[in-house]
């Protein structure tokens, strides 16, 4: 079971390789010469001198460069984003000069800019197994598996969680699409009757247990962000297959959003809502508005697919295209306070294109470990 108090991330060998790849990427971005790729600038003169000395010393290893640079640039902020026209089509071939960045309304100087289509991706698939999903679950399993086969490369990792009256890690990190498909095939609808005594994964942690039926959507997002994605590097995203209705979570939507922002995770929600099922149950549907909050704050979006196979496949295709067409901007924040506070971000296109990105980030706290 997926227990918050007892669960510990196991770092597979593949994840260590991914960390090394990310370190090399950071070193190449932050410490490259002025010949083409911008580099991040340290916050004080000693750090700047150290950085210059590293550039002149061709014998220093990439790992040493990466470690020293990351420690020096505690106020370095990296943001992934998509650029779209008014019809929602992705815009390629943009450059650093096409954008401006502001933090809490104050202009920032862009230090680096790249297209990140090949940076390792960590992906979580969260699938709603509450009774309201009875008529769409099989469709989600089939199309979700095809999506994973389409998007995952040998540098990427993915995991599968399900949630209803409890949240469970069905498949830990792997790049094996057969295991991921098997995990999707394993999940089944929960009738809404609790035979246990709480939510595995939440019972021993800061979230109290409960015995009421429901759909612990917000708790699942929190667990996914805090327990799975927060320690990972590179690009990180969750895809939620759900009707968007939360009932029974002990955490609020703001807690789920904050956890995702602290983990630098993008959230996509595929609204798989069989409206006929709601009608037959004598209840209304109201999940979409809260899901828009969840996605807009983290840089993703909501795609309404109903119970249509073709719409779900198209939605997954759109997500795959967006995740492989991201840009990355980096800047050294002019706010040097290490207070752990929330900072509002705004990236603007000088050509008036739409920017799809997270709304803000949480600064490093003074006592936060590297």
Residue 259, domain CATH: 3.40.50.410
Q: Are 354 and 86 in contact (CB under 8 A)?
A: yes
Q: Are residues 300 and 182 part of one domain?
A: yes
> Dihedral of the CA atoms 171, 172, 178, 181 (nearest 10)?
30
- Shared domain for 62 and 150, answered yes or no, is no
Q: Which domain holds residue 61?
A: 13-73
Q: Is residue 62 part of a domain?
A: yes
Same domain, 125 and 69: no
> What pLDDT, on the 0 to 100 scale, is given for residue 117?
77
**Where are the strands (E) in the chain, listed by range?**
76-84, 99-103, 106-108, 110-115, 121-128, 157-163, 167-174, 235-242, 265-271, 302-304, 327-332, 342-349, 354-356, 360-362
In this prediction, residue 364 carries a pLDDT of: 86
Global pTM value: 0.77
275 in a structural domain: yes
Beta bridge partners of 99: 349
Q: What is the DSSP track for 103-153?
A: ETTEEE-EEEEEE-TTS-EEEEEEEE-SGGGTTTHHHHHHHHHHHHHHH--
**Sign of the dihedral through C-alpha 72, 74, 75, 81:** positive
Q: Is the Cβ–Cβ distance between 321 and 90 less than 8 Å?
A: yes
Asked whether residue 45 falls in the same domain as residue 132, the answer is: no
Look at residue 196 and tell me if it is in a domain. Answer: yes
Q: Per-residue confidence of the chain (370 residues) as pLDDT tens digits?
A: 444 433 334 344 444 445 444 444 444 444 333 333 333 333 333 434 444 444 444 444 444 444 433 334 457 899 999 999 999 999 999 999 999 999 999 999 999 999 987 789 999 999 999 988 999 999 999 999 999 999 999 999 999 999 999 999 999 999 999 999 999 999 999 864 444 444 444 433 344 334 445 899 999 999 999 999 999 988 999 999 999 999 999 999 999 999 999 999 999 999 997 665 555 555 555 678 999 999 999 999 999 999 999 999 999 999 999 999 999 999 999 999 989 999 999 999 999 999 999 999 999 888 765 5
Q: Is 29 domain-assigned?
A: yes
Give yes or no: residues 69 and 126 share one domain: no
User: Is 205 within a domain?
Assistant: yes
Considering the domain architecture, whether residues 167 and 267 belong to the same structural domain is answered as yes
283 occurs within a structural domain: yes
Q: How many domains does the chain have?
A: 2
∠ at Cα 138 (292, 157), nearest 5°?
A: 65
Among residues 126, 161, 184, 167, the alpha carbon closest in space to that of 4 is found at 167
Residues 13, 167: Cα–Cα separation, whole Å: 26
Report CA-CA distances (Å) from 323 to 23, 45, 69, 118.
20, 37, 27, 10
44, 177: one domain: no
29/142 same-domain check:
no
Query: Do 229 and 319 fall within a single domain?
Result: yes
My answer on whether 64 and 153 are in the same domain is: no
Asked if residue 220 belongs to a domain, the reply is yes
One domain for residues 281 and 133: yes
139 domain-assigned:
yes
Q: Are residues 143 and 239 in the same domain?
A: yes
CA atoms within 13 A on the CB side of 212: 9
């Amino acid at each position: 079971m997926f227990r918050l108090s007892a669960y510990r991330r196991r770092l597979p060998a593949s994840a260590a390789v991914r960390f090394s790849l990310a370190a090399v990427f950071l070193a190449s971005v932050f410490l490259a010469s002025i010949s083409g790729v911008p580099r991040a600038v340290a916050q004080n003169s000693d750090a700047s001198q150290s950085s210059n000395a590293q550039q002149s010393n061709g014998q220093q290893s990439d790992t040493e460069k990466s470690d020293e640079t990351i420690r020096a640039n505690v106020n370095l902020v990296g943001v992934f984003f998509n650029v779209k026209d008014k019809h929602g089509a992705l815009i390629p071939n943009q450059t650093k000069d096409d954008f401006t960045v502001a933090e809490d309304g104050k202009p920032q100087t862009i230090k680096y800019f790249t297209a990140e289509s090949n940076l390792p991706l960590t992906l979580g698939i969260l699938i709603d197994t509450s009774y309201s999903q009875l008529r769409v679950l099989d469709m989600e399993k089939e199309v979700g598996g095809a999506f994973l086969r389409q998007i995952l490369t040998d540098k990427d990792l993915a995991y599968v969680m399900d949630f209803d009256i409890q949240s469970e890690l069905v498949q830990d990190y792997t790049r094996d699409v057969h295991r991921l498909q098997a995990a999707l095939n394993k999940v089944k609808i929960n009738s809404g009757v609790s035979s246990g005594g709480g939510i595995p994964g939440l019972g021993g942690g800061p979230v109290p247990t409960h015995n009421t039926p429901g759909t612990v959507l917000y708790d699942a997002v929190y667990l996914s962000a805090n327990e799975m994605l927060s320690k990972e590097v590179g690009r990180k995203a969750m895809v939620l297959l759900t009707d968007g209705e939360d009932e029974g979570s002990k955490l609020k939507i703001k807690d789920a959003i904050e956890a995702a922002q602290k983990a630098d995770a993008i959230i996509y929600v595929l609204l798989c809502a069989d409206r006929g099922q709601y009608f037959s149950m004598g209840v209304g549907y109201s999940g979409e508005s809260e899901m828009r909050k969840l996605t807009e704050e983290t840089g993703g979006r909501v795609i309404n697919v109903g119970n249509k196979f073709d719409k779900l496949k198209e939605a997954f295709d759109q997500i795959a295209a967006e995740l492989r067409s991201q840009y990355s901007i980096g800047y050294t924040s002019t706010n040097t306070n290490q207070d752990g506070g929330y900072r509002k971000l705004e990236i603007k296109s000088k050509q008036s294109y739409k920017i799809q990105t997270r709304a803000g980030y949480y600064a490093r706290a003074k006592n936060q470990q590297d």
